[in-house]
Structure 1
Amino acid sequence: MTQIANLGSRFSINGGYSLGAMRAGFSPQKPAAQNQWQPMRGGSDGPVVVQVRVDNLLLDALLDTGATRTVISRTLAGRLGLAPQGRARLAGLTADLYCDRTAPIRISVGPTELPPIIAIVLDLAAMSGAIRTPFDLILGQDMFLRHEIDLDFENGRFRIGGDGLHGGSTLALQQMDDGLFATKVQAAGATGLAAIDLGSMLPLYISSDFATRHGLADADRTSTSVTIGIEGPSVHTTGRLASLSFAGRVFHDIPFAVPERWNLYAPIVLGLPLLSRFDMRLRFGERWATLRARAGNAAFPRDRSGLNVVAGGGGLQVIHVARNSPAERLCIVDGDVIVAVDGQAIDAHFLSTCKGLGTAPVGTIYRLELLDSRRATLTLNDYY
């Protein structure tokens, strides 16, 4: 029931200090050891996770092109003995916030030691819980600007350097004033700039202005959802986009979210569920990317429950119930706690293995037990 919610970590983390040093004129570095593929987890079924070494610690790290700075957790900062070295302003998807930054740290990815990185320190517990993936490090554009990165989602691997991809579409990239890299897409019959965000767990975010101008926010065809980012929970309007043209491919029936507030320059954000349908070479330092479409064109998963939940309170705590959804018709409300699904208790094993239950086919039935002893039968159905 992990993703019985449409609850993904956004990771639109934009460092607001010293952006100039990360902009034009930056030439990607060639690592000493090339063509060495490293294992990579995630893609269509979760965030992109790779192993890195920080000092003598071997850690899982998330790859995130939507983070203009590398981010470490307060826990990791304490383990490394890193004292704050000043403050940094971060621009999230919906709001800004201020946080501590570190002295330069050294991070190795496979055989490649990255140049010293000034990291941002954040409490990552809420985002880890939202995606059921513990992590203490987000590798942002500090790496993507300095190196050519190949991502092979088909075979679950990545590399720094190498001889690139053969075939595919080459896209010109534009760095926006908030630091994110964007390219042109066709959405709802209109051309718009879309930021490339490997850290976003939704296929598409769309600004309210773009959605209104192109008739995407009709209440009769939309619902609501919540996601969690660096600035905390945010309520969205959710819907489905008829078509999107990107990198030589046309996608149909794509779930999207429209936040109540929009804090980015590009009006669209392309997230991991869409980007992982390509293998790619990213060369942010030279302002281009090559994307090669993978075989197949399966439908995008979408929530059919209406339950937005996080682990807590002895089970799955409901933080939002989608408008006009099956959950709303059961009179489940914010603050309710689900303690069992089909007789299975919500424990660590359940949280790590039972994912995507809310995206099961229409007509799927779950029997829920709540902390207050109520029982409810939830039948999945499309509601937006």
Structure 2
Amino acid sequence: MLAADTEQRWVAFDLTPGNQMRFELTIDGRPATAILDTGVSYSVLSRRFADAAALKVAAGGKATAIGGVVPIGWAATRTVAFGGLSRRGGGLTVATLPALATGSAEPVDLLVGRDLTGGFALDIDYAARRFRLLPSGRMPFRGATAPLAISRDRLVYVSEVTLGATRLRPMVVDTGDGSAVTVTAGGWQAAGIKGVRTTTTISFGLAGTVTSTIGIVPALGLGELTARNVEVRVEPVRGFSESIDAAGRIGSGFLQNYRVLLDPMARRMILAPRPAADEPPLRSTSGLLVGIDRDRLRVLHVMRGGPAEAAGWKAGETICAVEGQPIPRDYATSPLATWSAGAPGRVVALKLCDGAERRLTLKNFY
């Protein structure tokens, strides 16, 4: 249930290196960290937290996730509380929540899904890094309207988009997905967009990583909204979206360009553009996707057609210094992290953890 003063109970969040909304809540009175994840039908508690709290976990079968299938269980809880919401009784799905899924050094304790938020309006103020839960039907700001519902089969937030001349639906509205917009291989082919340069990237899920194609499309329609310069990922054939009978996903990488109201009970989402909403997204000029591994960067993927591929970089290599600076603990939010998307023509000095030194010339390649 929501508190009477829920409108004043904003929940502060930060964005993980994986671009997800991370915040604090309590489970049975114990502090915990969570990701707001409208792409999850039933909230998922980490096995680590369940064990530490001595919760009794019953075996519960398996669930489909990005990267494959994961084993799950179930545990009863007394309370889950954040912002103006306090749920008493019930329980949570239990699974292993790897740190890699958020790109952080530390894993989170809970994925807050549709079962906790779907009965209310979810007001996300990305500019101020805060969100709140409101009674359905509230309209706290004005913006473009797009359809929104809870799917009958998967019980997640869904909408639809227009890409090229093709309407794609259902599109899962997934705040737990750090990418912008993801579509199936069939949807991309049907859209028939010409002249888009593409490369490869990876997505992280509970079951592992998935390699997909990525490019920037000139326009995409979402209800009354026409969004410009949208980053679109194309899943491989028989990818995750196909496995759940979806046309794709609308993720936090897209939503964060707007103030967003998600109100599935009122069957609408509202999007108010932020000043730079239609600016071209930041893109890699190095061709290296890296993850933080304590005091070093680990190469997770070498993007197709980029300068790193041309220079012979391989996934799994580790970097211990950039331009002579050691990798700090706060690397993800430090100015040092901007090197991989720096100005074309810049030469970056990188020291590998085996002592070797390399220089990488940045360039635009997609």
Equivalent residue, structure 2, for 1:366: 348
* Counterparts of 2:84 and 2:41, CA distance in 1: 23
* Counterparts of 1:330 and 1:156, CA distance in 2: 38
* Counterparts of 1:222 and 1:128, CA distance in 2: 24
- CA deviations over 1:113-144 (Å, ceiling 9, x no partner): 12434222222233356245642222111222
Equivalent residue, structure 1, for 2:142: 167
Q: Aligned to 2:7, which of 23, 35, 43?
A: 35
Aligned partners of 1:144 and 1:282 also within 8 Å:
no
Shift of 1:258: 1.7
Change in CA separation of 1:221 and 1:118 when aligned onto 2, cut-off 3 Å: same
Equivalent residue, structure 2, for 1:202: 179
Q: Aligned to 2:248, which of 263, 268, 277?
A: 268
* Counterparts of 2:365 and 2:155, CA distance in 1: 36
Change in CA separation of 1:185 and 1:351 when aligned onto 2, cut-off 3 Å: closer
* Counterparts of 2:194 and 2:199, CA distance in 1: 9
Equivalent residue, structure 2, for 1:8: none
Change in CA separation of 1:151 and 1:352 when aligned onto 2, cut-off 3 Å: closer
Aligned partners of 2:294 and 2:329 also within 8 Å:
no
Aligned partners of 2:99 and 2:108 also within 8 Å:
no
* Identical amino acids, percent of aligned pairs: 23
* Counterparts of 1:216 and 1:84, CA distance in 2: 48
SS, match of residue 331 in structure 2:
helix
* Worse-superposed segment, 179-188 or 358-367: 358-367
Q: Which runs of 5+ in 1 are unaligned?
A: 1-28
Aligned partners of 2:123 and 2:261 also within 8 Å:
yes
Change in CA separation of 1:94 and 1:128 when aligned onto 2, cut-off 3 Å: closer
Matched, 1:382 2:364: yes
* Counterparts of 1:150 and 1:89, CA distance in 2: 32
CA RMSD in angstroms comes to: 2.6
Structure (1 or 2) with the greater strand fraction: 2
Equivalent residue, structure 1, for 2:69: 96
* TM-score for both structures, normalised by structure 2: 0.87
Aligned partners of 1:34 and 1:160 also within 8 Å:
yes
Shift of 1:253: 2.5
Matched, 1:329 2:310: yes
Aligned partners of 2:118 and 2:264 also within 8 Å:
yes
Shift of 1:202: 0.9
Equivalent residue, structure 2, for 1:152: 125
- CA deviations over 1:95-117 (Å, ceiling 9, x no partner): 33322221234111134312434
SS, match of residue 130 in structure 1:
coil
Change in CA separation of 1:117 and 1:187 when aligned onto 2, cut-off 3 Å: farther
Matched, 1:342 2:319: no
Aligned partners of 1:204 and 1:256 also within 8 Å:
yes
Structure of greater relative contact order (alpha carbons < 8 Å, 6+ residues apart): 1
Q: Which runs of 5+ in 2 are unaligned?
A: none
